[in-house]
Each structure stands twice: as structure tokens, then as C-alpha cells.
Amino acid sequence: MLDDYKDTQNTAYSILSNAINKNRISHAYLIETLGSNDGFDFALAFAKALLCPEGKMNKKKCNNCNQCKLIDDNNYIELEIVETDDLWLKKENIDKLQKDFNFKPIVGKRKIYIIKNADKIRESLANTLLKFIEEPEEGIIAILVTDNKSKILETIISRCQVISLKNYSLSFYLDSDKYSDDLINNIIKFINFYEQNKLETIVFSNSLFHDYMKDRNDYLLAFNIILMYYNDILNYKLNGKFTNFENYIEDYRIINKLSIESILKKINLVIKLKKKILNNVNLNLLIDKLVISFKKVDNNDLC
């Protein structure tokens, strides 16, 4: 839910929640993620807040209405996500979108499309898209997502309301009064322990990890720190520099052995499992799952 970003993305949250509550919704948004791993999830949470018939966000958290469930399963007809693994979005992608969004919403009052990696729109395609973004049918909202708006054509930017997310560094968490340094240090110790001892981590997961966690928010913090850790290792492998964890890596030989592919796989796993924290899963099992999945990635790395 959008409410989950109340603290971590407070500026973006206030702008958008205010717009929803006052019913002043733009017809196009560009969400700039600036390296924040939450980017697409944030866009989806915003779309959900716009589509959920339970309505205004601050009054009631909704994750249980039919629409929200369908959205979670990627099955809601009034929400379309456009993405591609190719270098550029294809004309077919946009043609399909235009066909699907050529009429008003059938269920509810709004119909939304999210274009993931909007920087994959080339100039020739942008021209087709511009009018569509600018003069949509009633109730249609575009959400474009990019990691950096400097990659987006000016003509597109000028038609969207730009929302920039914050990307936190480790020092942000360490300096914040909200999170204890002990908790953060223990999360780092846990992930360092995993990289040195692998599957054995499960045996010690209580004393290494769960004993320090008070609630789901602590687990969310842990997953954010773990994400940052692997992003930092990736940065180190690619550019030879750490942004956050230089003083925390206990064994460089292990880090050096990790392949870029396996680091990317771990990052994706953390993002995937982090989503489950909010869905009332058993958190002990979730951490076991994280360790086992990491180990599988590492096994493949060895062959």
C-alpha cells in the first residue's frame, strides 16, 4: 500500500496522497526512482491506491478488496503493465496499449497503465505516445517509471507530473533516530555471516537475526539493508568502489569470488521476498527461504 511509504518516501507520499484525497489526479505521472529499489513497487502501490474502491488512503489500509487482490495477481483488467526485456519498447507494445486504452474504464472509475523503464521509449515511438498521454479518455492515468529522468525525452517529461523518489544510503539509517545502530550492525553481521558460512546460517538464525527483530518494520529495514549490501558489492565489482559498506566487509576473498550474475540474482531474490513481509508470512520461514535461495545461487556460481 501507498501508506507503507509514508516514512521512507515522505515527499512523494504526501504529494500523491494529497492528490488522491483531494481528487486532483494528473493524467500522467513520471516516477523517477533514482536507484531506489522500491521504484516499481512504489508505482504499483500508487496505482492500487488510485484503483482501490475502498478509497481514501489515510482512513483505512486496504489489501483485501477484490480489486487489490486482482492487482496483486496481475489480473485486474483496468491495469496494464508495459515492459520489455529488449533494448527498446516496440511499436506493437504501444499499439496494443492504445487499443486497450481507447475507451473508458469498465470496472470502477479509473484505468491505469504503467510503463516500466520509460527510458526505453525511442523518439520515433514517443511521437505516437505523446498525444495519447496528453489527451486520454476520461479516467485513464499513465504512470511512467524510470531510474533517471535525464534519460527521458523532454517532450514526454513536459506532459507528466514528475515524482522523484529518495534513495537512502546506509548513513541515512545510521543517523536516523528511528533505527538503532545495534539493529543495523546486527543485520550487516548477519549477511556477512551468510557470505562466510552459507547454509549454516539457518542454524544460528535466531541468535544472529530474529532475536534482534521486534516487528515487521525491522524486517523491512533488514531487507533494505541487505539490498543495499548487494548493490554495494555490485558497485564494487563494476567500479571498484563501495558507497556504503567499505568498512563492513569482513572477507574480501569471498566478495571477489561472487559473480556479477549471482549478485544480480540475489538482489532480485531480496526484492521478491521483501514483498512477502507485508503479506503476513511467517518471518522465520522467510529468512530460511532467503538463505536457502541464496545458497542455490551460490551453488550455481561454483559450477
Contact positions toward Zn ion, by CB under 5 A? Answer: 52, 54, 62, 65, 68
**With respect to Zn ion, which residue has the nearer C-beta, 76 or 194?**
76
Q: Which CB, 3 or 54, lies closer to Zn ion?
A: 54
Identify whether the C-beta of residue 120 lies closer than 8 Å to the C-beta of residue 152.
no
Length of the chain: 303
Angstrom distance (rounded) from CA 84 to CA 96: 13
Phi, then psi, of 98 in degrees rounded to 5: -65, -35
> What is the rounded distance in angstroms from the CA atom of residue 202 to the CA atom of residue 52?
39
Q: Phi first, then psi: what are they for 197, rounded to 5°?
A: -120, -5
**Which residue, 1 or 273, has its beta carbon nearer to Zn ion?**
1
* Mode of pairing for the β-strands spanning 79-82 and 28-32: unpaired
Nearest residue (CB) to Zn ion, 55 versus 199? 55
The values of phi and psi at residue 111, to 5°, are: -140, 130
Residue 239 buriedness (CB in 10 A; 0-12 / 13-18 / 19+): exposed
Residue 129 Cβ vs Zn ion, minimum distance, rounded to whole Å: 29
Q: How far is the CB of 64 from Zn ion (least distance, A)?
A: 7
Find the shortest distance in angstroms from Cβ 47 to Zn ion.
Answer: 11
Shortest Å, Cβ 110 to Zn ion? 13
CB of 48 to Zn ion, least distance (A): 7
User: Least separation, in Å, of the C-beta of 65 and Zn ion?
Assistant: 3
Q: Which is nearer to Zn ion, 16 or 68 (CB)?
A: 68
Q: What is the dihedral of CA 257, 196, 211, 269, to 10 degrees?
A: 30
Q: How far apart are CA 38 and CA 12, in angstroms?
A: 12
CA distance 98 to 123: 17
- Cβ closest to Zn ion, residue 65 vs residue 286: 65
